Amino acid sequence: MNKSKIMKEYLEYKKLTIKTEKALKIVERYTNQFINSTKKPLSKFTEADIVNFFNSLDTKFAASSSNDIKVMVKVFIKWHYPDWSSRFRNLDKLCKKKKVEPKYSPDDMLKKEDIEKLVQAELEPRWKCFWLIFFYGGFRPSEVCRLKWEDITFDGEEAYVTLYATKNKKKFEKYIPSNAVFYLKKIQNNGSEYVFPTKRTKKKGVSVGDKSQTRSGVYQHLRDIAPRVFGKHINPYILRHSIATILYNKEDIKNDDAAQQMGHSTDMKGVYSHPTKKQIREKMKKLFIKAEELPPEKKVEIRKELDNALNIIKLMREDIEILKKK
């Protein structure tokens, strides 16, 4: 059986679990890259071919993207080769995920005052509303771009968004505060099913229909305005990391509640929370305040753990500064 036919059968199989065309296209793209990485028929593939393909990923993609592609390839291999465990004995080791360096440091995080500056710099209510909902809703860029009016329930001067996160296949209720709802009501009658539609365009004189805001459009807009507001370019995703850092580090908010607002699985706090050294020290100090009855030996042990944690943070921040200079 030739590779194209095998690929077609595999995609039919994947449709059992993948419900969106976009996600299926991603699987098709990278699986195709793997099976066509050599002219050999699939029946002749060896571990060396897998190694060569994975090595090529490291020259083209960041560690996080490379890790995702490895998972796709591993799933395909297990589907196609009934004897995969004996044919590719080191498959699990080859597909082991690489450590992903943190993209952002605590110094990169935005505060509520920064978002207010961004909102004030915008001239259109549409963009003022976009940044407020993006930030306070803890949305992923694609989620806020595709937001529809039917997803929103108004409750006086506040609102709630019902969101189904395709990434973790869970439904979440997100709270939208009154300052965002103020602008939301100003753009409510925009004549579109989308809260943030792109401008209606025509191709050869024929309307192509209503389209949602694109992520590339958001990136372009922020690239133009951020230097005037912040004196530097920022990635839109920093807004999501920033509100997550605020929520996860508030003493009076439970992690589960913060995860609900962010649309997170409860184990994602470590990825999205970026506490400062001062915040970490304050939390560590409370270990002693609440543990006065501990014996001196235990206190020494906790102090060592604190010193080790602070040293790790120092090394991580030094690594981040080195990466920024590259």
Report CA-CA distances (Å) from 30 to 57, 199, 218: 10, 33, 26
Cβ proximity of 168 and 265 under 8 Å: yes
Contact between 254 and 262 (Cβ < 8 Å): no
* 39 and 83 fall within a common domain: yes
Q: Is the predicted pLDDT of residue 277 greater than 80, yes or no?
A: no
Question: Is residue 119 in a domain?
Answer: yes
Quote the pLDDT of residue 213.
Answer: 86
Give the pLDDT of residue 22: 84
pLDDT at 78 over 90: yes
Checking if the pLDDT of 16 tops 70, the result is: yes
164 and 186 part of one domain: yes
Q: Which residues is 173 bridged to in the sheet?
A: 162
Q: Angle at CA 108, nearest 5°, toward 104 and 114? A: 140
Whether residues 249 and 173 fall in one domain: yes
Highest averaged pLDDT of the listed ranges 74-78, 244-248, 292-296: 74-78
Residue 234 clears pLDDT 60, i.e. is over it? yes
For residue 75, what pLDDT is reported?
94
Say yes or no: 167 and 307 in one domain.
no
Residue 305, pLDDT > 60, answer yes
Residue where a domain terminates, one of 67, 94, 121: 94
For range 114-118, the mean pLDDT: 92
Q: Are residues 74 and 161 in the same domain?
A: no
The neighbour count for residue 77, using CB atoms within 10 Å, is 21
111 and 193 co-located in one domain: yes
Number of domains in the chain: 3
pLDDT score, position 248 = 73
Residue 90 sits in the same domain as residue 141: no
Q: Is the pLDDT of residue 11 over 90?
A: yes
Structural domain contains residue 100: no
Mean pLDDT of 286-300: 56
pTM: 0.56
pLDDT reported for residue 291? 46
User: Which range marks the domain in which residue 27 is found?
Assistant: 3-94
